[in-house]
């Protein structure tokens, strides 16, 4: 570009020319742009950013551009993929890049930045799960000053190369070196290479002055850098080489709901302080992670229905169920201590008694509150907590209910203290605490009351029938008003994640598909079939008419007919009507006349429609309840309700209540008699439009929606994010998750591949969590024992055609299944505690079906499973611990350091960091990075030599 100089007063100052260079493949209509913090790069306004130009270099597409800046210039910047209007299609993940020009650089010089696109995966080592827990020792390294440039750039053919690379997992007393084919880089000899200095944030860097000429840093598949003296070259090259290429880090963990934990100290349910024991057991067993279900307050109905952990009363409040009342005070009166002990014995049941446990805890807590409320509520720590949560906005001190409200302040404060204590304990032990982010909130929650504009309260959400929702159950959650949420950059979501990050270093996004699209139902629906995706592109009236579809009332209203046809008119149509009549009579039998008179109108001969007071599911249910109270029903209320619902859902198209000219194909429309009674042309058209709506036309829209909403979550905290992506998955989901660095979920019995009945763990991708089961299905042991034919197919596919499986899930079977998963390429293998207990026969005496946490087909399932063995007992079971630890270590997965005692009684700390091959010669230690295939690369790290 032409350099006109930069003007300061009347003096012309020569600028420095900064060139950007990035290899990146784009699609037609896409361009690359760089935008940064300074005006010359748009001041973070992408529309004003610097567009780059593409050029092919060998097999790579290189995007380049340049800008003139002052010699003391510094800024932050990042790369964006944009369309012709400079609208953002994609942006880099991770931290913003920093540019600081070399000190003393002269005007007129050229500086070239060699960058690599940062993916979501590149940002993972910077998440708190790794930065603050797994790699915390590496991140605690002392920042070193650069060695400086010994030789000035006073030779025309000299080039200064600034090397920079991210190495998040560097062991103590180990240094990072660059080696290459030139003398400055040691000619492939490690000790003569260029030592890099630690610059903070896991970044290592160094400068080297080199002569122009053709050379490469590494050979074969290694990194390359060419400086060709035959062309005009920059005198300064900033080489940002992304992440250090090592064998990817892999870890393991245990999953258990908080309420399911059992300890000797708890009061009928797992408590936050029990997590310290669970962390101890995890460390002993070789686990780097403990995963929980949601822990928010769900006390909406005041009964056991509130045991459902995914319907929160408040997304910010913690559940009082997990409070340890014994820890509320160091000065508990003897009568309260006695009451606690008696309650502990009474509530020590096989399952959680939700109502009795919560009532007991709150009753005891109120007594302690009356004793210590002034002391606690006037303390400095409470005032700090109070101010951080802005509680004064919720209720005035002059309110009549202020003292009741203060009790809940008191409870939440202690829950915060106890969970914070457990979370800090986990971090110090090298264990990630992983939380769960529910996709929905209860429609009567604090959040829908305080922020009504953020929710669509006239609708509720569910999911079309898939793995977990075979009956189309209605979840009952209000849908989100994403347009309204975007106005403040999703502040509500960002606040949720900020709150979670106080306790967790990783989290699971429940039903991540909800950030692409949600299955939305009308407010009057009680089941999940008559819904539509939001957002989605509907079928327009004009589109349908072009296809020869015009009778919209026939297709969108319940199709209920009873027609008598003379014998002489024997035809296919007559047969259809006869079958329909048989179906109606089979459904209602002697009740048919009663059903017609109470629920239907005969609007023309043989054709029926629902009465105004019965034309929705909620109206039908309400009317049936009234008739049942008057003893007017000839059959069971539930059966008649289901049958009437079936008639109500006997439609092909759903008319949009907001726009009568828009329609949505009913889920599984081919199952309806309304569809079966259509002519062949209409069937073919509607069948084609159905598959287009559900599997094709929405993909780009859903992708764009996710790329707006999900980054807001990911950028709200530095927690590691995982997404539950089971079920009916649109094609756009996995590419977006990969782009954003979101870790998916793989359950072996629910493979994402349509041609497989069982997943193959050895073929899972790295960016996944693998597990044999989860809380939304039966345990592996129950699954194994309930279906002989399926069990045989599994064994034939995974073990061999000649193997005969045991009918019982004996420990050897559990060992085989767990070993499959720990040896998978997945970043994480996380096991429900129940599946791990199956490794030892004494823990399998409880019927396997009793260990299921949730039955997704039952909307009123009681979430009450408790582990039948205490954490204290598990910590004493060295045999089980040794079995699990052996599986984790044998798989090459990382595990926390533990103190072990040798035969002489001496203690030593055992640390294993997979992915690095240790070579020791005398006092010298060299770390050799390995590729996925296990073949060592050139040495890249050596110790500091005194």
DSSP state letter for 18: E
Pairs from 665-670 (Cβ < 8 Å, separation ≥ 24): 665/539, 665/689, 665/690, 665/693, 665/694, 666/529, 666/530, 667/464, 667/465, 667/472, 667/529, 667/531, 667/694, 668/465, 668/529
DSSP class per residue in 430-458:
T-EEEEEE-S---TTSHHHHH-GGGEEEE
Banded pLDDT at 900 (limits 50, 70, 90): low
Residues facing residue 925 across a β-bridge: 920
Nearest in space to 794 (alpha carbons), one of 830, 835, 759: 759
The reported pLDDT for the residue numbered 173 is 75
Averaged confidence pLDDT in the chain:
85
| pLDDT for the residue 187 | 86
What CA–CA distance (Å, rounded) separates 191 from 803? 54
> pLDDT (tens digit, 9 = 90+) per residue, 160-185?
888 888 888 877 778 888 888 888 88
In tens, the pLDDT along 266-284 reads 999 999 999 999 999 999 9
DSSP 8-state class, residue 718: -
Helix (H) or strand (E) holding 577: helix 572-588
pLDDT band at 121 (very low <50, low <70, confident <90, very high): confident
- For residue 229, the model assigns a pLDDT of 46
pLDDT value of position 685: 97
The closest of 874, 906, 881 to 895, measured between CA atoms, is 881
pLDDT band at 204 (very low <50, low <70, confident <90, very high): confident
Q: How far is CA 382 from CA 404, 416, 418, 931, in A?
A: 17, 10, 13, 51
Say if strands 539-540 and 532-534 run parallel, antiparallel, or are unpaired: unpaired
pLDDT at 149: 47
- How many CB atoms sit inside 10 A of residue 741's CB? 20
Point out the least confidently predicted range of 82-91, 223-232, 657-666: 223-232
CA–CA separation, 122 vs 135, rounded Å?
15
Tokens, residue 143: 């920042």
Residue 92 CA to residue 739 CA, distance in Å, equals 9
Q: Is residue 90 within 8 Å of residue 116, measured between CB atoms?
A: no
- C-alpha angle 138-144-149 in degrees, rounded to nearest 5: 135
pLDDT given at position 859: 79
| Measured distance CA(369)–CA(404) in Å, rounded | 11
What is the model's pLDDT at position 576? 47
Rounded Cα distance between 99 and 112, Å, is 11
- Two tokens at 868? 């039948």
Q: Is the pLDDT of residue 226 over 60?
A: no
Instruction: Give residue 387's pLDDT.
Output: 85
The SS3 call for residue 519 is: strand
Helix (H) or strand (E) holding 419: helix 402-428
Which burial class, exposed, middle or buried, applies to 463 when counting CB atoms under 10 A from its CB (0-12, 13-18, 19+)? buried
**What is the longest distance spanned by two Cα atoms in the chain?**
108
Return the pLDDT at 27.
87
Task: Using the predicted structure, report yes or no on whether residue 223 has a pLDDT greater than 80.
Answer: no
CA 651 vs. chain centroid, Å, equals 36
Q: Is the pLDDT of residue 240 over 70?
A: yes
Torsion of CA 820, 821, 823, 828, to 10 degrees: 180
Q: How far apart are CA 215 and CA 225, in angstroms?
A: 7
3-state DSSP assignment of residue 669? helix
- What kind and span of H or E run contains 89? strand 88-91
CA distance 313 to 581: 47
pLDDT of residue 453: 93
Asked whether the predicted pLDDT for residue 914 surpasses 70, the reply is: no
Please give the structure tokens belonging to residue 683.
Answer: 């069937």
Over 60: is that where the pLDDT of 479 sits?
yes
CA dihedral for 382, 383, 385, 389, sign (positive or negative): positive
- Give the torsion through C-alpha atoms of 346, 352, 353, 358, to 10 deg: 90
d(CA 620, CA 550): 29
User: Cα separations (Å) of 281 from 278, 514, 872, 873?
Assistant: 5, 35, 9, 10
- Report the C-alpha dihedral over residues 866, 280, 783, 746, rounded to 10 degrees: 120
933 has a pLDDT exceeding 60 = no
What's the pTM value of the predicted model, to 2 decimals?
0.87
pLDDT level of residue 942 (50, 70, 90 thresholds): very low
| Count of C-beta atoms within a 10 Å radius of residue 178 | 24
Taking 50 as the threshold, does the pLDDT of residue 221 lie above it?
Answer: no
- Whether the pLDDT of residue 943 is over 90: the answer is no
pLDDT confidence of 811, banded at 50, 70, 90? very high
With tokens 């009474």, the residue in question is: 346
Q: How confident is the model at residue 696 (pLDDT cuts 50, 70, 90)?
A: very high
Q: Which residue has the higher pLDDT, 828 or 230?
A: 828
335 Cβ contact partners less than 8 Å away, ≥ 6 residues apart: none
Closest C-alpha to 515, from 330, 702, 290: 702
- Is 471 or 408 the better-scoring residue by pLDDT? 408
Handedness of CA 629, 630, 636, 640 (dihedral sign): negative
Length of the chain, in residues: 946
CA distance 543 to 53: 41
Q: Write down the pLDDT at residue 925.
A: 36
Asked whether 464 and 528 are in contact (CB, 8 A), the reply is yes
Which residues, 6+ apart, have CB-to-CB distance to 44 below 8 Å?
A: 35, 36, 37
Give the integer Cα–Cα distance in Å for 600 and 470.
29
User: What percentage of residues in the chain have a pLDDT greater than 90?
Assistant: 59
Closest CA to 133 of 436, 431, 433, 506: 431
Beta-carbon neighbour count of residue 538 at 10 Å?
A: 20
Give the model's confidence band at 132: pLDDT under 50 very low, under 70 low, under 90 confident, else very high.
Answer: very high
User: Closest by alpha carbon to 164, among 123, 194, 136?
Assistant: 194
Alpha-carbon span 653 to 635, nearest angstrom:
31
**Residue 917: predicted pLDDT:** 33
Q: What angle do CA 242, 163, 33 make, to 5 degrees?
A: 50
Confidence of residue 805 (pLDDT cuts 50, 70, 90): confident
**CA proximity to 826, closest of 891, 921, 910:** 891
Instruction: Say if residue 564's pLDDT is above 70.
Output: no
Q: In this predicted structure, which of 109-123, 180-194, 745-759 has the lowest mean pLDDT?
A: 180-194
Q: Please give the pLDDT value at position 597.
A: 87
- Is 444:300 a contact under the CB 8 Å cutoff? yes
SS3 277: helix
Distance CA 515, CA 440 (A): 11
Q: What sign has the CA pseudo-torsion 90, 93, 96, 100?
A: negative
pLDDT for 563: 43
Rounded average pLDDT over 241-269: 91
Inform me whether the pLDDT recorded for 570 exceeds 70: no
pLDDT of res. 273: 98
Q: How far apart are CA 35 and CA 50, in angstroms?
A: 6
Mean pLDDT of 510-535: 90
Spell out the residues 6+ positions from residue 570 whose beta carbon is closer than 8 angstroms to its own: none
As a whole number of angstroms, the distance between CA 613 and CA 822 comes to 57
Residue 418 has pLDDT above 70, yes or no: yes
Residue 260 pLDDT exceeds 70? yes
Asked if omega into 535 is within 30° of 0 (cis), the reply is yes
Q: What is the secondary structure of 731-787 as a DSSP string?
A: TTHHHHHHHHT-BEEEETTS-SSTT-SS--GGG--SSEEEES--TTS--HHHHHHH-
Residue 932 has pLDDT above 80, yes or no: no
Cα distance between the two ends of the chain: 49
């Amino acid at each position: 570009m032409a350099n006109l100089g930069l003007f300061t007063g009347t003096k012309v100052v020569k600028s420095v020319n900064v060139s950007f260079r990035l290899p990146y493949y784009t699609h037609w209509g896409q361009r690359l742009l760089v935008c940064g913090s300074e005006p010359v790069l748009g001041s973070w306004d992408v529309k004003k950013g610097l567009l780059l130009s593409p050029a092919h270099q060998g097999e790579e597409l290189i995007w380049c551009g340049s800008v003139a800046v002052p010699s003391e210039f510094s800024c932050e910047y990042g790369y964006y993929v944009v369309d012709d209007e400079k609208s953002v299609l994609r942006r880099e993940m991770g931290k913003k890049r920093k540019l600081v020009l070399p000190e003393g650089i002269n005007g007129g010089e050229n500086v070239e930045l060699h960058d690599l696109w940062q993916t979501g995966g590149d940002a993972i080592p910077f998440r708190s799960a790794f930065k603050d827990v797994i790699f915390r020792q590496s991140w605690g390294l002392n920042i070193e000053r650069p060695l400086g440039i010994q030789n000035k750039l006073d030779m025309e053919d000299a080039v200064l190369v600034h090397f920079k690379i991210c190495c998040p997992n560097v062991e103590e007393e180990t240094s990072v070196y660059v080696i290459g084919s030139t003398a400055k880089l040691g000619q492939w000899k490690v000790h003569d290479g260029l030592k890099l200095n630690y610059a903070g944030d896991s970044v290592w860097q160094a400068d080297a002055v080199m002569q122009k000429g053709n050379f490469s840093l590494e050979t074969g598949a290694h990194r390359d850098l060419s400086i060709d003296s035959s062309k005009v070259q920059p005198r300064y090259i900033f080489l940002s080489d992304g992440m250090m290429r090592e064998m990817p880090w892999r870890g393991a963990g245990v999953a258990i709901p908080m309420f399911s934990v059992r300890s000797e100290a708890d009061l009928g349910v797992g408590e936050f302080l029990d997590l310290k024991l669970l962390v101890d057991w995890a460390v002993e067993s070789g686990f780097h992670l403990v995963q929980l279900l949601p822990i928010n307050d769900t006390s909406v109905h005041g009964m056991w229905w509130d045991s459902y952990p995914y319907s929160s009363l408040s997304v910010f409040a913690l559940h009082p169920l997990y409070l340890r009342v014994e820890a509320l005070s160091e000065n508990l009166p003897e009568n309260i201590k006695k009451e606690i002990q008696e309650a502990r014995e009474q509530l020590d049941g096989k399952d959680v008694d939700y109502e009795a446990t919560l009532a007991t805890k709150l009753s005891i807590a109120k007594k302690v509150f009356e004793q210590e409320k002034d002391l606690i509520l006037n303390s400095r720590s409470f005032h700090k907590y109070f101010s951080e949560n802005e509680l004064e906005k919720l209720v005035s001190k002059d309110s009549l209910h202020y003292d009741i409200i203060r009790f809940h302040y008191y409870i939440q404060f202690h829950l915060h203290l106890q969970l914070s204590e457990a979370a800090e304990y986990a971090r110090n032990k090298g264990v990630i605490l992983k939380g769960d982010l529910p996709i929905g909130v209860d429609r009567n929650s604090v959040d829908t009351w305080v922020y009504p504009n953020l929710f669509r309260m006239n609708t509720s959400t569910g999911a079309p029938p898939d793995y977990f929702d075979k009956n189309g159950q209605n979840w009952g959650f209000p849908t989100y008003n994403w347009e309204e949420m975007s106005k403040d950059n999703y502040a509500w979501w960002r606040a949720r994640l900020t709150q979670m990050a106080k306790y967790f270093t990783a989290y699971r996004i429940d039903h991540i598909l909800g950030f692409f699209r949600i299955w939305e139902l009308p407010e009057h629906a009680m089941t999940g079939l008559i819904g539509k995706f939001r957002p989605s592109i509907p079928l327009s009236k004009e589109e349908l008419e072009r296809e020869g579809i015009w009778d919209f009332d026939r297709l969108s209203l319940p199709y209920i007919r009873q027609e008598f046809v003379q014998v002489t008119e024997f035809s296919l149509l007559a047969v259809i009507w006869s079958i329909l009549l048989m179906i109606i009579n089979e459904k209602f039998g002697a009740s048919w006349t009663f059903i017609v008179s109470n629920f239907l109108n005969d609007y023309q001969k043989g054709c029926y429609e629902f009465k105004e007071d019965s034309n929705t599911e909620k109206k039908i249910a309400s009317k049936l309840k009234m008739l049942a109270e008057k003893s007017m029903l000839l059959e069971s209320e539930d059966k008649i309700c289901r049958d009437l619902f079936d008639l109500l859902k006997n439609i092909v198209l759903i008319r949009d209540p907001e726009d009568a000219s828009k329609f949505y194909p009913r889920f599984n429309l081919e199952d309806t008699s309304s569809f079966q009674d259509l002519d062949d042309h209409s069937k073919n058209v509607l069948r084609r439009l159905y598959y287009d709506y559900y599997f094709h036309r929405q993909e780009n829209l859903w992708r764009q929606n996710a790329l707006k909403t999900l980054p807001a979550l990911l950028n709200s905290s530095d927690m590691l994010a995982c997404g539950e992506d089971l079920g009916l998955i649109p094609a756009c989901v996995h590419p977006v998750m990969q782009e954003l660095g979101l870790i998916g979920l793989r359950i072996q019995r629910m493979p994402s591949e349509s041609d497989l009945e069982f997943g193959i763990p050895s073929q899972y991708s790295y960016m996944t969590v693998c597990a044999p089961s989860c809380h939304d299905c039966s345990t592996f042991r129950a699954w194994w024992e309930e279906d002989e034919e399926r069990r045989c197919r599994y064994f034939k596919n995974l073990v061999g055609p000649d193997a005969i499986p045991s009918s019982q899930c004996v420990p050897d079977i559990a060992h085989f299944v767990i070993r499959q998963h720990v040896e998978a390429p997945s970043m994480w293998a996380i096991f429900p505690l129940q599946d791990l207990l199956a490794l030892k026969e004494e823990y399998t005496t409880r019927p396997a079906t009793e260990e299921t946490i949730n039955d997704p087909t039952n909307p009123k399932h009681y979430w009450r499973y408790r582990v039948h063995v205490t954490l204290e007992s598990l910590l004493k079971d060295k045999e089980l611990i040794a079995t699990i630890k052996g599986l984790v270590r044998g798989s090459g997965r990382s595990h926390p350091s533990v103190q072990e005692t040798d035969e002489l009684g001496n203690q030593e700390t055992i640390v294993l960091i997979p992915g690095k091959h240790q070579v020791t010669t005398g006092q010298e230690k060299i770390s050799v990075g390995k590729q996925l295939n296990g073949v060592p690369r050139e040495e890249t790290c050596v110790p500091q030599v005194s």
